[in-house]
């Protein structure tokens, strides 16, 4: 199949999905990120890669971010936020970490596709990326892409959207952000 045809299908799916995300859920997440002392991230597989990208971008804004499992990971506290990326909300490692974070009274945000997953028990709030799941839930955006590609793509773009919202809200001078960029390259 021709690249341009495939590319247009993917971009159309991403646009439809991002347009379907609840603005109030995103705004609540921004408030919680700004209130937190540190923002921790947990996920698995390609979702983790998207979360690492979000963590890096927020670090460029001067936010203290931690990816769970890093060798320099500090203790989570009641002043921190854990962001869990899990489309299904059933992945065992993120579930265990969310449960542990709640035991230390940290806030937990779940970004996923299924609001009624097991993660609901440990989440303070939920941001739905309404992509196709095995459950065929109402309002799901179907995808021609393999597995959970659409979720992972939209998760990363949601993170970039949040970063830009924060930049614009605080009138941050974009060139000043380079002070936070890696310089041992």
Q: Which residues form the catalytic set?
A: 152
Q: Which residues contact 163 (CB under 8 A, 6 or more apart)?
A: 54, 57, 58, 60, 61
- Rounded Cα distance between 162 and 79, Å, is 20
**Cα–Cα distance for residue pair 162/30, rounded to 1 Å:** 7
What DSSP element (H or E) covers 10? helix 3-20
Burial class (CB in 10 A: 0-12, 13-18, 19+), 19: exposed
Reduced to 3 states, what is the DSSP secondary structure of residue 107? strand
Phi, psi for 133 (deg, rounded to 5): -125, 175
């Amino acid at each position: 199949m021709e690249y341009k045809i495939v590319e247009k299908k993917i971009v159309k799916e991403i646009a439809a999905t991002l347009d379907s995300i609840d603005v109030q859920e995103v705004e609540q997440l921004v408030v919680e990120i700004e209130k937190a002392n540190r923002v921790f991230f947990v996920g698995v597989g390609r979702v983790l890669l998207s979360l690492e990208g979000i963590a890096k971008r927020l670090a460029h804004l001067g936010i203290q971010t931690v990816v769970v499992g890093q060798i320099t990971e500090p203790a989570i506290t009641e002043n921190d936020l854990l962001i869990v990326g899990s489309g299904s909300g059933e992945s065992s490692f993120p579930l265990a970490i969310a449960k542990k974070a709640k035991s230390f009274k940290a806030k937990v945000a779940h970004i996923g596709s299924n609001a009624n997953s097991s993660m609901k028990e440990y989440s303070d709030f939920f941001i739905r990326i309404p992509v196709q799941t095995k459950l065929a839930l109402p309002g799901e955006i179907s995808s021609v892409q393999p597995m959970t590609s659409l979720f992972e793509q939209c998760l990363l773009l949601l993170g970039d959207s949040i970063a830009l919202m924060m930049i614009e809200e605080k009138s941050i001078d974009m060139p000043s952000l380079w002070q936070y960029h890696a310089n041992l390259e």
